[in-house]
Amino acid sequence: MSNKWLQLFFESEIPFYIYKLYKGDALIFKFYVKCKPLIIVFYGTVYIMKVFTNGESIFLAILTSNSIIDFSSNSFDSNYIYYKVVALENTYFIKFCWLEYITHFKYLSTVVKLLDLFRYTLQQYENSSCILLHKSTRYRVIQLLLFLCREFGILNNNYIIIPFELSQKTISYITGSNPITVHKIIHYLINKLFVKYAVNKRILICYASFFTYLQNNKVT
């Protein structure tokens, strides 16, 4: 685990808090009136859902280490929504107040580092948005698998391992799809020997045949 952000905050004397989420755990964030919080993901992977008071939710992004979470710009609908940050693996956060950061920072380099985080986070939001471009649930699920393989996959001979737990329920949350439909799609991919679950049916593996099928059928 990198400690460069911890070192930066200790040296700058900026008040901050550290949170740890175990995989599957979640943090809930609502609009803050007095303090506009920023959260740095300095180790791990999470996905973010925007949840409405009527129970509906929208997937926003998958974020990994060196990303920044900022909900302070969405105060206009603060009475109707909250944000849910769910850990796909054990994840550590640094939470701090933007105004306190401005008050305490002494070196321009710290601001430059934060700007780099914002740029990287914006790129992750843009990449994540591709998952929801498709109207078809099948293509959404496929797009999610491609995204995870590209961003996090571990190559091992003729297959790629997604290195954290990815349940069908999580897939349905992220793709905004019915769990039954997601189950049918995953079951189809497993029967075709394109993917399989391993390690007590928690870790998903995508075979080379899966990518060959997508290329031959121009599914991207």
Instruction: Give me the number of domains the chain comprises.
Output: 2
Tell me what the pLDDT averaged over the chain comes to. 83
Q: Which pLDDT does position 34 carry in this prediction?
A: 61
Final residue belonging to a domain, choices 131, 156, 185: 131
Query: Rounded CA gap, 73 and 61, in Å?
Result: 16
Question: Which of the four pLDDT bands, split at 50, 70 and 90, describes residue 32?
Answer: low
DSSP state, 136? S
**Whether 122 and 170 share a structural domain:** no
Q: Rg (Cα) of the chain, in Å, rounded?
A: 19
86 or 200, greater pLDDT: 86
**Whether 46 and 116 share a structural domain:** yes
Mean pLDDT lowest for which of 54-58, 143-147, 180-184?
54-58
**Whether 160 and 59 share a structural domain:** no
CATH of the domain at 82: 2.60.120.10
Other CB atoms within 10 A of residue 165 CB:
18
**Whether 116 and 211 share a structural domain:** no
Q: Which pLDDT does position 185 carry in this prediction?
A: 93
**Whether 127 and 146 share a structural domain:** no
Other CB atoms within 10 A of residue 23 CB:
16
Q: Which pLDDT does position 173 carry in this prediction?
A: 92
Question: Which of the four pLDDT bands, split at 50, 70 and 90, describes residue 92?
Answer: very high
Which residue range forms the structural domain that includes residue 31? 4-131
Q: What is the mean pLDDT of residues 44-63?
A: 91
**Whether 127 and 19 share a structural domain:** yes
CATH of the domain at 196: 1.10.10.10
SS3 of 29-93: the string is ECCCCCCCEEEEEEECEEEEEEEECCCCEEEEEEEECCEEEECCCCHHHCCCEEEEEEECCCEEE
Q: Which pLDDT does position 20 carry in this prediction?
A: 92
Per-residue pLDDT of 159-193, as tens digits, reads: 999 988 888 999 999 999 999 999 999 999 999 98
**Whether 12 and 81 share a structural domain:** yes
Final residue belonging to a domain, choices 109, 131, 153: 131
**Whether 24 and 91 share a structural domain:** yes
2 or 205, greater pLDDT: 205
Q: What share of the chain is helix, strand, coil (3-state, %, to 5)?
A: 40, 30, 30
Final residue belonging to a domain, choices 131, 149, 177: 131
